């Protein structure tokens, strides 16, 4: 059995660690040579016990990124969808790999959904399907994350790499797996916990604007599964798996209105004794700035999408909206463990 050299970034992160966990129990894992880029020597030592080769470094070391990618058949990029230089360094490494082997390496890049600037005032937004390549390609170059996407698309078009984009909505749920057990992986996402931390701090659940904005949902487990589904499909029959402009794979299994998540948070805060009532109220602009920073409006956007291409390659998500709303209370409990309330 030939060896597949895999580079994965973001293994201590919420999604990256879950993807690595699945690679470690893959039926063909004995044929994988996995290299993980890790910033912490202490975490690297723990991850090494899983049979993963770790390299100390970060996304500021562009030369190292290029070198690592130049030795990989497959790159899972699960760290930064906004900074162009590190991603260009990985792409340059892929080009060197192609020049050395004559075979285009696989680049699997994780990037969030298309969003608007609704400020929580409405739920009106175009619904995108990941099968609508023309409409995705027509997005303006100024769209969020688009500059990095374009670099991967250019590499694919030039033929020295095959680019695939895993594109999740609101990723939720406490991560589980060997890296969580080792204490090296973040087990919570950003989007929902931000809302919950703010609600805990003010002792009352809140929402932005009117709370009418809508987002797709996908569990951490289903998101990691999609990475592996695409990876497996490429290995089995690469000619049937869309890449480049046809390589967007949306991760969604239902959707929620922001107000609904806040209602679930209000109920949980009351049950946990953090709030006096289940009442939810809008964040003032001052609170939005305080709790979410200058880009607070990003937490009140719309993003509507359908993962039809994802399902066509065999992805079968199992966690839906009821599971998402039920996850709010455990998320709050986890936050309270880290920062007990006085």
SS (H, E, C) the chain: CCCEEEEEECCCCCCHHHHHHHHHCCCCHHHEEEEEEECCHHHHHHHHCCCCEEEECCCCCHHHHHHHHHCCCEEEECCCCCCHHHHHHHHHHHHHHHHHHCCCCEEEEECCCCCCCCCCCCCCCCEEECCCHHHHHCCCCCCCCHHHHHHHHHHHHHCCCEEEEEEECEEECCCCCHHHHCCCCCCCCCHHHHHHHHHHHHCCEEECCCCCCEEEEEEHHHHHHHHHHHHHHHHHCHHHCCCHHHCEEEECCCEEEHHHHHHHHHHHHHHCCCCCCCCEEECCHHHHHHHHCCCHHHHHCCCEEECHHHHHCCCCCCCCHHHHHHCHHHHHHHHHHHCCCC
User: What is the phi/psi pair of residue 30, to 5°?
Assistant: -65, -20
Low-confidence ranges of the chain (pLDDT < 70): 1, 342
CA end-to-end distance (rounded Å), the chain = 58
With beta carbons less than 8 A apart as the criterion, state whether 154 and 84 touch. Answer: no
User: What is the phi/psi pair of residue 32, to 5°?
Assistant: -95, 140
CA distance 193 to 332: 8
CB contact set of 142 (below 8 Å; sequence gap of 6+): none
CA distance 322 to 64: 44
Q: What distance separates the 2 farthest-apart alpha carbons in the chain?
A: 65
CB contact set of 230 (below 8 Å; sequence gap of 6+): 108, 164, 166, 241, 249, 310, 313, 315
- Specify the pLDDT at position 342: 56
Q: What is the pTM of this model?
A: 0.96
């Amino acid at each position: 059995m030939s060896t597949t050299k895999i580079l994965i970034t973001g293994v201590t992160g919420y999604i990256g660690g879950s993807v690595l966990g699945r690679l470690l129990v893959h039926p063909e894992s004995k044929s994988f040579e996995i290299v993980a880029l890790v910033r912490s020597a202490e975490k690297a030592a723990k991850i090494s016990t899983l049979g993963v080769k770790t390299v100390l470094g970060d996304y500021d070391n562009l030369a190292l990124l290029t070198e690592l990618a130049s030795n990989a058949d497959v790159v899972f990029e699960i760290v930064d969808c906004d900074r162009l230089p590190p991603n260009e360094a990985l792409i340059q490494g892929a080009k060197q790999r192609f020049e050395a082997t004559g075979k285009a390496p696989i680049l699997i890049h994780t990037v969030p959904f298309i969003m608007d600037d609704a400020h929580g005032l409405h739920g009106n937004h175009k619904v995108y399907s990941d099968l609508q390549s023309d409409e995705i390609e027509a997005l303006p170059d100024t769209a969020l994350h688009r500059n990095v996407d374009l670099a991967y698309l250019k590499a694919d078009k030039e033929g020295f790499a095959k680019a695939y984009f895993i594109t999740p909505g609101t990723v939720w749920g406490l991560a589980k797996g060997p890296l969580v057990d080792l204490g090296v992986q973040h087990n919570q996402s950003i989007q929902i916990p931000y809302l919950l931390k703010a609600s805990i701090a003010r002792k009352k659940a809140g929402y932005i604007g009117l709370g009418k904005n809508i987002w797709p949902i996908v569990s951490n487990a289903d998101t990691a599964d999609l990475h592996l589904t695409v990876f497996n499909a490429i290995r089995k029959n690469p000619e049937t798996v869309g890449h480049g402009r046809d390589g967007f794979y949306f991760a969604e299994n239902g959707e929620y209105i922001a107000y609904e998540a806040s209602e679930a948070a209000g109920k949980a805060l009351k049950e946990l004794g953090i709030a006096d009532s289940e009442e939810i109220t809008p964040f003032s602009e001052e609170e939005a700035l305080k709790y979410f920073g200058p880009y607070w409006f990003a937490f009140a956007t719309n993003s509507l999408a359908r993962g039809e291409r994802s399902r066509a390659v065999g992805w079968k998500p199992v966690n839906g909206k009821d599971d998402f709303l039920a996850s709010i209370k455990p998320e709050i409990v986890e936050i309270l463990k880290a920062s007990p309330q006085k």
